[in-house]
Chains A and B, each alone.
Chain A
Amino acid sequence: MLNFLQMIVNGMAAGSTYALMGLAMVIIYKTTEVPNFTQGEMALLSSYLTYMFLDQYGVPYHVVFPAALVFAFVLGCVLEFVVLRRAKEPNILGMIVITIGLEMILMGFVSWKFGADQKTMPFPITPYDSVVIGKVFISTLELLTMGMVLLLMTGLFVFLRYSKLGIAMKATQQNDVAARLMGIRTDRIRMATWGISSTVGCTAGLLISSIVMQPYMMWDPLLKGFAAAVMGGMTSLPGAVFGAYMLGIIENLFGGYISIEFKSVVAFAIIVLVLCVKPSGLFARHYVKKV
């Protein structure tokens, strides 16, 4: 029983990182219906620059971490403005290919600039301390990650539901032309969406970097985040978070009780299963056009 409980907690801890990446993907998808595969590398670049300022220039945490989030926001906006907006007659497939291309460019840049050796980000808390609840362990970093997930999910939920910009984002996704006719500058909305999404991804990147940093580090969390978002329906923030926690827990239970060798393919089996059985995901209320 203790092992089972520990696996559940471990699964939730792993799911927190997936949740952050899943949230970031959902934000962009909600507005543009494009799964953004640059997400991981946008976070990668922000994390490496943060590392550079912390490690090489000795800038204190309280300055560099907020600066990283601001940088991530600007990076997201710039990529949208400079690259995606320039796409001629964009369709979804074309946009996906562009995001994959950007992903490779950013990873190549990070590998070139910082080298491929493993590094670790200096961080205010050590990732290897843990808290014991009963006889179940959870690391302090994982607790922090869980806290960040809840905070961001709630914040984004409130923002999208009640703020003017959030409602404009939703309108842009549902009907671009109508939104423009209502005076919404949809280009700017999309740009802001990329900025916000990049900021959320950057949070995940900073937390992951405190364990091991390497140019390849965001690929697995991105794919798992994507799987979680698909599970939750791609447009639902709580759905992505729920999907991420479910994914983490299923992976851990699968690894513990069935096969640790095939643990890492569970996420992708879930994508296939969800797309076959309930393509709109577990939480999404799909927007159906009546003809």
Chain B
Amino acid sequence: MMKKGFLVFLTVAAMAFGFPFSAAAEEGVTDKEIHIGQWGPQTGPAAAWGSVARGTDAYFKMINADGGINGRQLIHHMFDDAYDPAKTVAGVKELQEGKGMFAWVSGVGTAPGLAVKDYLMNKKIPWVGPSAGSLHWITPPQKYLFAVYPLYEIEAKALVRYAVEKLGKKKIAIVYQNDDYGKNGVQGAAEELARLKMKLVAEVPVQLTDSDLKPHVMQLKTSEADAVLLWTSVKHAVMTIGTSAAMQFAPQFLSTSTCSDFPMMMSISKGLWKGVIAATFAELPDSKSPLMAKYKKDAFDKFAAKDERWGLFYYAGIVFSEPLVEGIKRCGKDLTREKFVSEMEKLKDFQGISGKISYKPFDANDPFSRQGQNQTTLLKCIEGGAAERLTDWMTIQ
């Protein structure tokens, strides 16, 4: 009887003292591992951006091969959400509540990201580098959400400024995906044109499922635009310039960074992408930067799948993860979410293979306390899918 009572006492004591121990350890962090989650479309209409998650995966493997961060290995959990917000929500909840992620990184798409933003923020889970330049990440700013991608608005402003001031274009139109991604582009273009005392001559929305863009190009042609901004998926961007070519409508096309992987765009468009100007947020694939060379050699060459390509979308997965890795490194051995946030806020002019990234202490009234990169650079697609750099890094507020 005494023995049984002692066992009960031991069990109760273990429960009473054991649980607080496990509760004190940060979710998703053990002595040897840090669990990071990520979603990305490997199938579906936005699958071309699926390589972002694969790029992050190779980057984490490279870090692990180099010994990890402060003795811990990065365990990368990625899943295919097919660019479907319902699947994003299901996948994020499954991983967060099933396995427990310390933080989330990247995640392609405005709509999928918006679907899980509140969930992650309510649980105070850090999320670094959503792979979309949406205003929604920072309006209002969230303590645990660190945007890396330059805002689509910034890109639109930079492109419009270049089209009007450098190319002398008088009639600017935009064809945009009818969601937040596209509408952020429209907003940026309209604001910049208002500054220049001009207006968009046409705003043409495209649905993600549209397979015939002739009516859209008809509207662009009727507007007599001499420059057209493309704020769509890769498929629709190619269809727009293809349909325009067939209808003998030849304005200067300018595209968001999501279509700035020139070799791929040239291949899909059968050469029509030549001459298109695009904004971008990272170094060029053939950049001479030592860091790019290291990533190419130690991440891509060693860990990428056989038929993977060293293109912008692939190493964008590295761009969006670099600040996360830097923040974790700065935390040292004592890794908690609060400490991570505090270290991220100290990042100032941090530069990996993108423009400079800075954050500030959280200020609910300052969206830019959580917008890391405010720089973009413009490129022109030339022969063979190579890029000609048109501008230096442009800082646009």
Contact = CB atoms under 8 A, between A and B. Distances in A.
A76 interface: no
A13 B242 CA distance: 14
B212 A260 contact: no
B47 A216 contact: yes
A101 interface: no
Interface string A1-30: 001001100100110010000000000000
Contacts of A248: 212
Given A255-B216, A263-B215, A215 B43 contact: yes
Contacts, number: 118
Contacts of B235: 118, 212, 214
Nearest to A121: B270
A89 interface: no
B108 to A, nearest CB: 12
A252 B211 CA distance: 12
Given A3-B222, A10-B214, A118-B235, A211 B204 contact: no
B234 interface: yes
Interface in B210-260: 210-212, 214-216, 218-219, 222, 234-235, 238-239, 242, 245-248
Contact of A260 (B48, B51, B204, B245): B204
A174 interface: no
Nearest to A111: B43
Contacts of A117: 47-48, 50-51, 264
Contact of B218 (A7, A138, A221, A224): A7
A212 B47 CA distance: 13
Contacts of B44: 116, 216
Contacts of B41: 116
B395 interface: no
B42 A130 contact: no
Interface string A199-240: 000000000000110111101110010000000000000000
B139 interface: no
A166 interface: no
Q: Which of B42, B205, B209, B212 has the most CB of A within 10 A?
A: B212
B209 A220 contact: yes
B307 interface: yes
Contacts of B42: 111, 116
Given A111-B43, A128-B272, A10 B242 contact: no
Interface residues of B, number: 39
Interface string A255-272: 110001101100000000
B351 interface: no
B44 to A, nearest CB: 6
Given A137-B246, A256-B215, A126 B270 contact: yes
Given A116-B47, A120-B270, A10 B218 contact: yes
B287 interface: no
Contacts of B264: 117-118
B289 interface: no
Given A115-B307, A216-B45, A260 B219 contact: yes
Given A211-B239, A220-B209, A260-B204, A127 B45 contact: no
B268 interface: yes
Contact of A10 (B205, B215, B268, B269): B215
B45 A264 contact: no
A252 B42 CA distance: 32
Contacts of A138: 246
A103 interface: no
A139 B248 CA distance: 10
Given A3-B218, A132-B248, 17 more contacts: A10-B212, A118-B48, A120-B270, A126-B270, A127-B246, A128-B246, A137-B246, A137-B247, A211-B242, A212-B235, A216-B44, A216-B45, A219-B209, A220-B210, A221-B211, A252-B215, A260-B216
* In the complex, the 7 A-B pairs of residues with the closest C-beta atoms, listed nearest first: A116-B47, A255-B215, A10-B214, A139-B246, A220-B211, A14-B212, A128-B245
